[in-house]
Amino acid sequence: MKKKTTQTLVECAMMIAMAVVLSFIKIYEFPQGGSVTLASMAPIVLISYRHGIKWGVLAALIYSLLQMILPPGFYPPPAKTFIAFAAVVLLDYVIAFTVLGTAALFGKPFKNKVLAGAVGAAAVTVLRLVCHFLSGILVWDSYAPEGTPVWLYSLGYNGTYMLWEIIITAVAVAVLIPVLDRIDTARNRT
């Protein structure tokens, strides 16, 4: 049991590190924050599938804190009040990235592992979009062009980069699940 826990801990640490490195590989970066990355959320989603929601949420929480403190992060965010600052911390970082660890929950109804992985990845990245959407309405409303409803601006801005993140993450997870299963099978034979 102790060996299994140590292996899981090491794998989670490696996946978190991989997610951080991938988050620096930006396909496109938006001017007020948000970017399309090279499947940076996939390693966190895979932890949820491989080791369960408990490990997934813990790894995702650590990843969220790293996203907040590593560049570009926020230094500090241009929030005008403490409540706005807290909303940015929670909605743009802690909750937005921690939900990634619950991917296995959303994929559970599906028998096909690849489909379960893709659905779970898409579901949690949509939840991340919801967090950024709410933050856009509650905190970043001043960025909305005059005459544009804040909710529409937030959905348009955040949806533009998150749609690509949803697709990239779901595809990457669907491709990697069988690969990781083969690696596990080969490891168990030795």
Instruction: Give me the sign of the Cα torsion angle 185, 173, 66, 63.
Output: negative
Counting other chains too, the contacts that 11-17 makes at CB distance below 8 Å and 24 or more residues apart are: 11/47, 11/50, 11/51, 12/47, 12/51, 12/55, 12/58, 12/59, 15/43, 15/44, 15/46, 15/47, 15/59, 16/43, 16/44, 16/59, 16/62, 16/63, 16/66
Q: For 100, which DSSP code?
A: G
pLDDT tens digits, residue range 40-59?
999 999 999 999 999 999 99
**pLDDT at 75 (0 to 100):** 58
Q: Please tell me the distance from the alpha carbon of residue 143 to that of residue 39, in angstroms, as a whole number.
A: 27
Instruction: Go through the domains of the chain in sequence order and give each one's CATH number.
Output: 2-185 (1.10.1760.20)
Longest alpha-carbon distance in the chain: 65
pTM over 0.75: yes
Single-letter amino acid, residue 183 = I
pLDDT tens digits, residue range 136-177?
999 999 889 999 999 999 999 999 999 999 999 999 999 999
Q: Please tell me the distance from the alpha carbon of residue 138 to that of residue 167, in angstroms, as a whole number.
A: 26
Confidence of residue 28 (pLDDT cuts 50, 70, 90): very high
Q: Please tell me the distance from the alpha carbon of residue 27 to that of residue 102, in angstroms, as a whole number.
A: 26
Q: What's the half-sphere exposure (Cβ side, CA atoms, 13 Å) at 138?
A: 18
% of the chain exceeding 90 in pLDDT:
81
- Nearby residues of 11 by Cβ (< 8 Å), 6 or more positions away: 47, 50, 51
Q: Please tell me the distance from the alpha carbon of residue 63 to that of residue 56, in angstroms, as a whole number.
A: 10
Question: What is the residue whose two structure tokens read 């991989």?
Answer: 18
Residue 35, phi then psi, degrees to nearest 5 = -155, 160
Q: Is the peptide bond before 72 cis (omega within 30 degrees of 0)?
A: yes
Confidence of residue 94 (pLDDT cuts 50, 70, 90): very high
